[in-house]
Amino acid sequence: MSEKAPRAPGLRIGCGADVHPLAAGRRLVLGGIIIPHERGLSGHSDADVLAHAICDAVLGALGDPDMGVRFPDSDEAHRGRSSLEFLREVMSDARSRGYTIVNLDAVVLAEAPRLQPHLEAMRTALAEALGCPAASVGVKAKRCEGIGAVGRKEGIAAQAVVLLGPAVPVAGAAPGAGAGRGAPRPARRKGRA
Ligand SMILES: [Zn+2]
């Protein structure tokens, strides 16, 4: 191993939580996946509550202000926008600072619909947006047993914890140099730049 390996940033952990109300006439989007349901989540963007919780966790790990500051709902540019684009954007920032996803774990709190059949597709879509292997992305679904607003099917909530670690440098490039928007890079050792 080279003695001249660049000094890596340390590990950084972040947590995120979000909740959106369910409303008629909206598509239900969770983890970037459109899920058949009679109602969807209302919000300025696609209201993907899971992607938002993960996005806030990444921003928290970076020590940055949360999504409300970064992507304000007063900005018409964000109306109807896919929340996977928010993830790509914050991860591009993270990579430019030398970080990549070590792993993340998230839970969606929803009384209905049943999310189990969609969890793998969510993991795959989230991993693609985050530029990490699907094995680094955990998504669980939990019901609230009829308790509280989520239990009464008034909305869906999500929580996420993200661990960031040093991105493995690509040969011939300094860490973070030329970090493109979600540009895939060859895996080196474990993790991905
Ligand atoms: Zn949100």
Provide the residue-wise pLDDT of the chain in tens; the chain has 193 residues: 445 544 457 999 999 999 999 999 999 999 999 999 999 999 999 999 999 999 999 999 999 999 999 999 899 988 889 999 999 999 999 999 999 999 999 999 999 999 999 999 999 999 999 999 999 999 999 999 999 999 999 999 999 999 999 987 655 555 444 444 444 444 444 443 4
In a domain, 171, yes or no: no
Q: How many domains does the chain have?
A: 1
| Among candidate residues 153, 141, 145, 118, the one with its CA nearest the CA of residue 24 | 153
Cα–Cα dist 137/25, whole Å: 30
Output the CA 47–ligand 1 centroid distance in Å. Answer: 5
In a domain, 172, yes or no: no
**CATH code for the domain in which residue 126 is found:** 3.30.1330.50
In a domain, 185, yes or no: no
In a domain, 120, yes or no: yes
In a domain, 146, yes or no: yes
Between the two ends of the chain, the Cα-to-Cα distance in Å is 18
Output the CA 136–ligand 1 centroid distance in Å. Answer: 22
**What's the pTM?**
0.84
Question: What is the domain range of residue 85?
Answer: 12-166
In a domain, 110, yes or no: yes
In a domain, 183, yes or no: no
Q: What is the DSSP string of 2-64?
A: -TTPPPPP--EEEEEEEEEEEEET--EEETTEEE--SEEE-SSS---HHHHHHHHHHHHHHT-
Tokens of 74: 């007063």
Contacts of 24 (CB under 8 A, 6+ apart): 38, 39
Contacts of 191 (CB under 8 A, 6+ apart): 100, 102, 132, 165, 167, 168
Output the CA 77–ligand 1 centroid distance in Å. Answer: 16
In a domain, 4, yes or no: no
